[in-house]
Amino acid sequence: MLAYFYALIQKLYVIGMNKFPPDSRGSKFLMSITGLFMVMFVAVHLTVNLLLIFDDSGELFNMTAHLMENSLVMGIIEPLLGLGFFIHITWSFFLEYRNWKVRPVSYNKKKSDKPVTWASRNMLVLGSLVLVFLVIHLINFFWVINFNPESLQTVTINGVEMEDTYSLVADLFKKSVVYDILYIMGGILLGLHLSHGFWSAFHTLGLTDKHQISKIRVAGKIYAAIVAIGFSCIPLYFMIRF
């Protein structure tokens, strides 16, 4: 399995080096490959978080969280996906700063014969707002779970003692309308960001041709809608249910 992923990365790297001129190929390649890491990371994260609304007892969410925390495979994959996410964010700021220094006019004033969407023109703005939400999210959950686990309650499920991460997450949704609204906004902003980034990454890496690009665009919009609706449903569920 590792050999397969290594071969895939090598293939993508060769495509990237052959596709782009020296001054931009590395930057575009890095943004695209880390963007795909972001797509995978979000898919995994959303899948697990949706378990919050399928079982009010919290057992399903706690068992999944416990399994992921103690799984060797997830222990390798999750940090890699998270690292890709981090590189994607930091590199985007670097590129925007570099472009800002060299261009004589602002991006929005550039003339182009290609149709562009609002999301494509404001990727940095959307990404920055998503980053703000991500920091808030990490402080409330990731930091506590990984660096202050002794503050969590414990539960025993099927004879196994584990941290009650469900209560940590669910209680915040139940008690804070402000956080619920921020979470919904974060999900929508992330969906908008991915609506352009999804297909753009495939296109930039040369994994599509002119006949496939329209299908990838549609797939990207569907994925973005699932992300926005999926993340928004979680706080809405707790606001309505409790």
Which pLDDT score, from 0 to 100, does residue 25 have? 57
Strand partners, 155: 162
Which pLDDT score, from 0 to 100, does residue 18 have? 52
48-91 pLDDT per residue, tens: 999 999 999 999 999 999 988 888 877 787 777 777 777 887 77
Which pLDDT score, from 0 to 100, does residue 31 have? 81
Query: Is 68 within 8 Å of 74 (Cβ atoms)?
Result: yes
Alpha helices in the chain (DSSP H): 2-19, 25-49, 59-70, 72-102, 118-121, 123-137, 143-147, 165-175, 177-204, 213-241
Which pLDDT score, from 0 to 100, does residue 240 have? 92
Supply the pTM of this predicted model: 0.76
Which pLDDT score, from 0 to 100, does residue 183 have? 93
More confident residue, 214 or 14: 214
Which pLDDT score, from 0 to 100, does residue 24 have? 55
